[in-house]
Amino acid sequence: MLNKIADAVKNYEIDAIETYVSAALTSGISAKEILDEGLVKGMDDIGRRFSSGEVFVPEVLMAANTMQAGMDLIREELVASGDDQSRGRVIIGTVKGDLHDIGKKLVGMMFEGAGYEVIDLGVDIPAEIFVEEAKNLDVDFVGMSAMLTTTMTEMKQVVDLLKTQNVRAVPLVGGAPLTAEFAASIGANYSHDAASAVDLIKSL
Ligand code: B1M
């Protein structure tokens, strides 16, 4: 069933994904397995084929929509699998110029599952909005996602603006092109994936 889910993402079968994910949940496969061994596996394959020029943006978008349809079905279980103690408030968004939101949504869901209150600002968020919302909502953490080497530099603007405006919220960053060294160089806390993002936020 997990292979069928991965294949459905690879082949953009948005109708089939609902059937397969529902069947997997009914048969007792956990939301985490469906995510890691099915949905993410399928999306990784698309990423590889996109890099090698076998598929193009429309196909990637169809695969992304298929993955999102699958994620909608496991969301409740994924969130419920964490604990429900309220630990703090987080805003999360994808930085200015960047429209990728699947990883960011996943991190947000995992934070919710771990007991944080999460406010998702969306995609293409300018530094000023991150900081304004951090102040308005009095958040503990500001989560930023970037998937492009050209947009990850936006994160520094947010970190610098938080500092100059004396906003005490802790900056968290992640996304495929980032490294721990880059995060350290801009004064932010880095995690590689959604699971380690939860470990990180708890440790902070
Ligand atoms: Co785009 N794209 N894309 N894309 N896309 C990448 C990122 C790319 C690596 C593909 C490639 O060339 N191999 C490449 C970036 C190259 C680079 O800069 N280094 C790329 C490109 C070039 C582009 C365009 C420029 C293409 C074009 O138009 N010519 C364009 C840019 C648009 C824009 O943003 N302005 C573009 C567009 C798109 C789509 C719209 C078609 C679509 C996005 C749809 C959507 O998100 N709603 C898309 C997709 C789907 C991808 C790939 C294939 C998959 C990304 C994804 O969702 N992965 C991607 C290739 C790849 O990564 N394999 C690619 C699944 C997701 C679960 O993982 O997002 O990595 P990920 O999130 C992880 C971690 O990174 C981490 O945890 C998550 C969960 O474990 N993480 C955090 C993320 N945020 C975090 C925050 C944290 C902590 C951890 O703390 C706050």
- The CA 42 to ligand 1 mean position distance, Å, reads 14
Ligand 1 binding pocket includes 172 (Cβ within 6 Å): yes
Q: What is the pLDDT of residue 82?
A: 62
| DSSP label of 39 | I
Please report, to the nearest 10 degrees, the dihedral formed by the alpha carbons of residues 68, 74, 79, 81 taken in order: -150
Separation of alpha carbons 169 and 2, rounded Å: 39
Separation of alpha carbons 105 and 100, rounded Å: 10
- The CA 166 to ligand 1 mean position distance, Å, reads 31
Helix axes 2-10 and 40-51, enclosed angle (nearest 10): 30
Q: Pick the closest to residue 39 from 82, 79, 68 (CA basis).
A: 68
Q: What is the pLDDT of residue 44?
A: 85
> For residue 16, how far is the Cα from the chain centroid?
24
- The CA 148 to ligand 1 mean position distance, Å, reads 7
Q: What is the pLDDT of residue 83?
A: 54
Q: Whose Cα sits closest to atom 25 in ligand 1?
A: 148
How far apart are the two ends of the chain, measured CA to CA in Å? 38
Best of 118, 147, 193 to mutate for ligand 1, by most ligand atoms within 8 A of CB?
147
Contact present, 103 and 174 (Cβ < 8 Å)? yes
Name, in order, each residue with C-beta under 8 angstroms of 160's C-beta and a sequence gap of 6 or more: none
- The CA 177 to ligand 1 mean position distance, Å, reads 9
- The CA 27 to ligand 1 mean position distance, Å, reads 31
- pLDDT digit of tens for each residue in the chain (204 aa)? 999 999 999 999 999 999 999 999 999 999 989 988 999 899 889 888 988 999 988 898 899 889 889 989 998 888 777 655 568 999 999 999 999 999 898 898 878 867 788 999 999 999 999 999 999 999 999 999 999 999 999 999 999 999 999 999 999 999 999 999 999 999 999 999 887 898 999 999
Ligand 1 binding pocket includes 175 (Cβ within 6 Å): yes
Best of 5, 40, 50, 189 to mutate for ligand 1, by most ligand atoms within 8 A of CB?
50
